């Protein structure tokens, strides 16, 4: 069974071991340097004392040696011609020291060493250091001088300092280990969070988001995961919409196929009525025939849904389309207590698909009419844009309007809160206007207070 590799341990343990090793080496080096410095200081001290006494400027008497020994915490010995101790403030080491001095002087003579020399010895199991130098006091009474100092106190002080240094080092080590732990957790904790986030995404959670804001590679990874989750969510929504559109399209094609035959019969009956109708009746029959042709277009579009939509361009004045629409639907809107206001400015003829634009105007007005359940005002107006590149058809109402947060989604398929509506009308309107190389805008009506839709159609079309 393969064990799980812990990235925290892979980061923290090597750091800790390296830190311990470096700290111990640093402590050993510092302790060694401290001991060497104290030893060198003691060596210089006894050498300076030996040099001073060997110059013969001071009276070499026992009281002087006693004062120097007390001052320096060291013993001073004077040697006779036979290299034996003949004068000192403390004779407790005289017998043992005589033997050691004899052996040291013998080695000096063999090595032909002259002048001042420093040696390390042991007396009674304790470490000592002494400096030896010949004396020139004029009387030739003394041949040499020995300054002997114990190094045990120095070692004890070095050990005590070393113990204190150990405590300091351990404290620093613990502090650095804690800092290392925090730094390691700063790396591993976000990685663990991102790993858990990835598991949530794999389980189907598309709402999860990482809140890691670090400005490093981990932060980049978190942002990439957030972006991936959002794109995956949008992609799945697009798949769902596409699937729903395919189902609706298939159903619409079946319904349109069933509608086509009765619609043809109705069209024939209207044509027969037109043959015998008077002038007053002809106007109404022409409007009905025009709407039947528009229904035939919608049915044909539903049956040819798999084919790209093609526009039948012709030059029309948009004001004419608005007037025809108002003439046809004004009685229906008056019956529902809705006032229709029309404000048309002079417009040039524009290349457009007449039936498709009327379909867009109808959808927008019907949506406004649904909002005015207890009556109100619908206003249709036209004008040229300020740069004279577009004609603008504006449809606005006195309803409650469309909230700002919903305006970006309102043109999406199935974006509706109505139980009796599939929410395809506005998406179809947007598609038709974009096929005309125009755009449809939504805002709040400053005049009536409700929703405001502006249809912008280019005055000049590159391809007609």
**CA 391, 393, 395 angle in degrees (round to 5)?**
165
- What's the CA gap between 414 and 375, in Å, rounded? 27
The strand pairing partners of 458, in sequence order, are 390
| Residues found in the chain | 464
| b (16+ CB within 10 A) / e for 184-206 | beebbebeeebeebeeebeeeee
β-strands 144-150, 126-134 pairing = antiparallel
β-strands 314-316, 338-344 pairing = unpaired
Look up the CATH superfamily of 7-160: PAS domain (3.30.450.20)
pLDDT value at residue 3: 43
pTM of the predicted model as reported, rounded to 2 decimal places: 0.43
CATH architecture group of domain 314-458? 2-Layer Sandwich (3.30)
pLDDT value at residue 343: 92
Consecutive H or E run containing 234: helix 217-276
Q: What is the pLDDT along the chain (464 residues), one digit of tens a residue?
A: 344 456 666 666 777 777 778 777 777 777 778 778 888 888 888 888 888 877 777 777 788 888 877 787 888 888 877 777 777 777 666 777 777 777 777 777 666 666 788 888 887 778 888 888 876 555 557 778 888 888 887 777 777 777 777 777 778 777 877 877 777 777 777 777 777 877 877 777 777 777 777 777 777 777 787 888 888 877 777 776 666 656 656 666 666 656 766 766 777 777 777 777 777 777 777 777 767 766 766 666 555 554 556 788 889 999 999 998 888 888 878 888 889 999 999 999 999 988 889 888 988 988 888 888 888 999 999 999 888 889 999 999 988 888 887 877 777 765 566 544 555 678 888 888 988 999 999 999 889 889 999 999 998 765 55
Do the Cβ atoms of 145 and 50 come closer than 8 Å? Answer: yes
Torsion-angle region of residue 112: left (phi > 0), alpha (psi -120 to 50) or beta? left
pLDDT value at residue 1: 37
Place of tokens 């032909």: 112
Q: In the chain, where are the structural domains located?
A: 7-160, 314-458
Query: Residues with Cβ < 8 Å from 314, sequence gap 6 or more?
Result: 351, 352, 353, 354
Please classify residue 156 by burial: count the beta carbons closer than 10 Å to its beta carbon, then call 0-12 exposed, 13-18 middle and 19+ buried.
exposed
Question: Is 131 in a helix, a strand, or coil?
Answer: strand
Q: How do the residues of the chain divide into helix, strand and coil, expressed in percent and rounded to 5? A: 55, 15, 25
CA-only gyration radius of the chain, Å: 54
pLDDT value at residue 382: 93
Query: Residues with Cβ < 8 Å from 97, sequence gap 6 or more?
Result: 77, 85, 123, 146, 148
pLDDT value at residue 383: 93
Do the Cβ atoms of 413 and 244 come closer than 8 Å? Answer: yes
- Tell me the torsion sign for CA atoms 60, 62, 67, 72: positive
Structure tokens at 138: 């004029």
- What's the CA gap between 455 and 367, in Å, rounded? 15
pLDDT value at residue 178: 80
């Amino acid at each position: 069974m393969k064990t799980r590799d812990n990235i925290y341990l892979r980061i923290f343990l090597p750091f800790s071991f390296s830190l311990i090793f470096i700290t111990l080496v640093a402590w050993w080096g510092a302790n060694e340097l401290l001991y060497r410095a104290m030893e060198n200081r003691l060596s210089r001290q006894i050498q300076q004392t030996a040099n001073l006494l060997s110059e013969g400027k001071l009276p070499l008497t026992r009281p002087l040696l006693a004062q120097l020994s007390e001052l320096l915490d060291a013993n001073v010995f004077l040697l006779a011609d036979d290299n034996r101790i003949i004068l000192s403030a403390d004779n407790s080491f005289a017998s043992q020291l005589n033997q050691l001095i004899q052996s040291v002087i013998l080695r000096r003579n063999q090595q032909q060493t002259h002048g001042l020399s420093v040696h390390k010895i042991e007396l009674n199991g304790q470490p000592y250091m002494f400096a030896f130098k010949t004396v020139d006091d004029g009387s030739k009474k003394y041949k040499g001088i020995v300054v002997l100092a114990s190094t045990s106190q120095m070692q004890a002080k070095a050990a005590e300092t070393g113990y204190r240094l150990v405590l300091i080092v351990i404290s620093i080590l613990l502090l650095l280990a804690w800092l290392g732990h925090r730094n390691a957790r700063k790396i591993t904790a976000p990685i663990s969070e991102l790993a858990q986030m990835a598991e949530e995404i794999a389980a189907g959670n598309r709402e999860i988001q990482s809140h890691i804001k670090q400005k490093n590679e981990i932060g980049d990874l978190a942002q990439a995961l957030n972006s991936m989750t959002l794109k995956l969510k949008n992609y799945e929504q697009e798949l769902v919409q596409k699937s729903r559109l395919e189902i609706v399209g298939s159903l619409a094609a079946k319904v349109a196929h069933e509608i086509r035959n009765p619609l043809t019969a109705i069209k024939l009956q209207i044509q027969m009525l037109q043959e015998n109708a008077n002038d007053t009746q002809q106007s109404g029959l022409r409007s009905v025939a025009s709407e039947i042709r528009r229904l035939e277009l919608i049915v044909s579009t539903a049956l040819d849904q798999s084919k790209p939509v093609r526009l039948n361009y012709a030059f029309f004045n948009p004001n004419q389309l608005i007037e025809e629409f108002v003439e046809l639907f004004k009685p229906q809107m008056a019956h529902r207590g809705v006032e229709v206001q029309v404000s048309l400015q002079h417009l040039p003829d524009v290349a457009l698909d007449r039936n498709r634009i009327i379909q867009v105007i109808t959808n927008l007005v019907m949506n406004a009419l649904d909002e005015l359940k207890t009556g109100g005002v619908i206003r249709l107006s036209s004008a040229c844009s300020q740069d004279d590149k577009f004609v603008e058809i504006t449809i606005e109402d006195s309803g409650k309007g469309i909230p700002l947060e919903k305006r970006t989604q309102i043109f999406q398929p199935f974006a509706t809160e109505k139980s009796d509506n599939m929410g395809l009308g506005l998406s179809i309107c947007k598609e038709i206007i974009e096929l005309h190389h125009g755009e449809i805008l939504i805002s709040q009506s400053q005049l009536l207070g409700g929703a405001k839709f502006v249809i912008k159609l280019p005055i000049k079309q590159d391809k007609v």
